[in-house]
Amino acid sequence: MNRPLSLVALAALSLALSVSAQDKEAFKNPSAAAPGTPATAPSTDEAAAAGSVARGFYSDYVNRFLRGKGKKPGLAAWVAARPDVSAQFKRVFATADAKAKRSEMGGWEADPIINAQDFPDDGGMIVKAARVSGSKATVTMNWERGMDAPVEVTLLRFPEGWKIHGIGALVAK
């Protein structure tokens, strides 16, 4: 036997199902979120999109710094100029780079982008796995051939897209 819902039950159901106008707009239009804050609106294939950003970053890095193709700015300057890197990670990286230059070794002990001292003579880095949870993605990069040295890349989804927010243990807060 079906009973009509009471006014209290209807009000509770309405409240539970209500979504604020701001939430509706952020879902329909991720760019409506405040600039510089991660967006949480879903898209068709977030893991593939995050993996694509990491793949582009590493492809440029390997070609420019490890294979010697193209102009070579300083590493910190290169990271600072990249639109696919969060402002917070740019600051963390610049601070770590300055600290590395002041160390006894006069620079990084290991390559901070590939988290290693050595790398294969040929080939690039590929996406091995990509996981998304809300506005955060973790992408595992590894060499396509020559050695097994995975690197965990943390990305955050901003209104303008996925941005690298951490590499290995060097992660922005």
Identify any residues that bridge with 164 across adjacent strands, giving them in sequence order: 85, 155
Residue 11 lies in a domain: no
Flag whether 152 is in a domain. Answer: yes
CATH, residue 101: 3.10.450.50
Could you tell me if residue 2 is inside a domain?
no
The answer as to whether 19 is a domain residue is no
Q: Does residue 86 sit within a domain?
A: yes
Mark out the alpha helices in 18-136 (DSSP H runs).
21-28, 46-61, 75-81, 87-102
How many domains are there within the chain?
1
| 22 located within any domain | no
Task: Kindly state whether residue 46 falls inside one of the protein's structural domains.
Answer: yes
What are the C-alpha distances in Å from 134 to residues 2, 41, 156?
39, 8, 9
Per residue in 121-170, pLDDT (tens digit) is 888 999 999 999 999 999 999 999 888 999 999 999 999 999 999 999 89
- Between residues 99 and 41, the one the model is more confident about: 99
Q: Round to whole Å and give the CA distance between 155 and 148.
A: 22
**DSSP β-bridge partners for residue 158:** 161
How high is the pLDDT of residue 70? 58
Instruction: Return the SS3 of 153.
Output: strand
Domain membership flag for residue 26 = no
Q: Look up the domain containing 46 and give its range.
A: 34-171
Q: How far apart are CA 159 and CA 135, in angstroms?
A: 10
DSSP 160: T
Average pLDDT for residues 48-65, to the nearest whole number? Answer: 94
Whether the CB-CB separation of 54 and 139 falls below 8 Å is answered with yes
